[in-house]
Amino acid sequence: MSAFGSKADILRHLVSVPFPLLIGDHDPLELQVTWHLDETIETSAGSVAAGNTGDGPELVLAHGWPWSSYSWHRIIPELAKSYRVFWYDMPGYGRSNKQPDQRTSLDVQGQVFSEILGYWGLSRPKIIAHDFGGATTLRAHLLHGCEFDCYVLMNVVAMRPWGSEFFDHVGRHVDAFSGLPPHIHKAVVEAYIQGAIIGNIDGEDFANLVAPWLSDEGRSSFYRQFAQADERYTAEVEPLFGKIRCPVKIIWGEDDPWIPLARGNALHELIPQASFDTLSCVGHLPQLEAPARVLEHLGAFLADQSAS
């Protein structure tokens, strides 16, 4: 399985209508509303929507593809009890700037991440990264000199290969996909996102993951990400994994249909100093599929680094 699902998976979802919004019971959490985007940061790739809350050591959340900072909303309240938590929507994602000629590939995202840390004045924050957020923050750390206090990599894109037949196909035919009627485009996005999830997530959460891609600018940006995907941006940092300059924890949903556990094991072999935890019966979105379990695994690691 690839990081982005097979063509067969996408087509199977497309013919399975209606698309159910997955609703289920979650581990009990205090779901007070603390996720928000009330800050605008100007970067070399356009304006970025951001937010922060809490008090304590600084902690930055880096989301991935095709998500936004909303994907963290179920763990932010608990983290904010002990940390000053920062988050943002990557350029081209969520509520951040989306422009027709915009470059939002991983090389750009790594540079933007370093710019955002500078804007916030964070010299050595804790980092939690998911999916493309992994490659983004690895580039910031290993190529742009950003220092991290400690580092969590969760179901991350970090190593080749991470393309797929479907992903490559869309990348070669962006104009055709961008011209899909809105209801067909919505079906594609819903099927694509649903293909990452094997556990139950709340229906509103699912709808809010899909929503940023449904506007005219969102639709164009969605397909533009396929066109700009390039494995050379992970190839550049793979040889440097042994030079990570902080404690590392890898967390992996064992049943991830996009980036299988074998990729997590391979990453661990390249970062042998890292601790490695897996989450049974969890797919590609642990922070929404099993937020309480994610917090449990994060808690001891983050606290240990704060105490050291």
The answer to whether 146 touches 173, Cβ cutoff 8 Å, is no
The beta strands (E) that lie in 254-304 are given as 275-279
Tell me the pLDDT of the chain (308 aa) as tens digits.
Answer: 445 454 444 444 433 333 333 333 444 344 444 899 999 999 999 999 999 999 999 999 999 999 999 999 999 999 999 999 999 999 999 999 999 989 999 999 999 999 999 999 999 999 999 999 999 999 999 999 999 999 999 999 999 987 667 777 887 888 888 889 999 999 999 999 999 999 789 999 999 999 999 999 999 999 999 989 889 999 999 999 999 999 999 999 999 999 999 999 999 999 999 999 999 999 999 999 999 999 999 998 998 876 65
DSSP state of 126: E
| Domains of the chain: residue spans and CATH | 7-307 (3.40.50.1820)
The answer to whether 55 touches 81, Cβ cutoff 8 Å, is no
The answer to whether 235 touches 137, Cβ cutoff 8 Å, is no
Separation CA 26–CA 35 (nearest Å) = 18
- According to DSSP, the β-strands at 275-279 and 248-253 are parallel
- Residue 58 sits at φ, ψ, to 5 deg, of -75, 135
The answer to whether 257 touches 283, Cβ cutoff 8 Å, is yes
Q: Give the CA distances from residue 30 to residues 123, 222, 292, 297, in Å, rounded to whole numbers and listed in that order.
A: 30, 32, 10, 17
Q: DSSP secondary structure string, 52-83?
A: EEE-SSEEEEE--TT--GGGGTTTHHHHTTTS
Sign (positive/negative) of CA torsion 218, 223, 225, 228?
Answer: negative
Q: Can you read off the two tokens belonging to residue 79?
A: 């983290």
pTM of the model: 0.89
Helix (H) or strand (E) holding 48: strand 46-54
The answer to whether 239 touches 160, Cβ cutoff 8 Å, is no
The answer to whether 266 touches 246, Cβ cutoff 8 Å, is no
Helix (H) or strand (E) holding 257: none
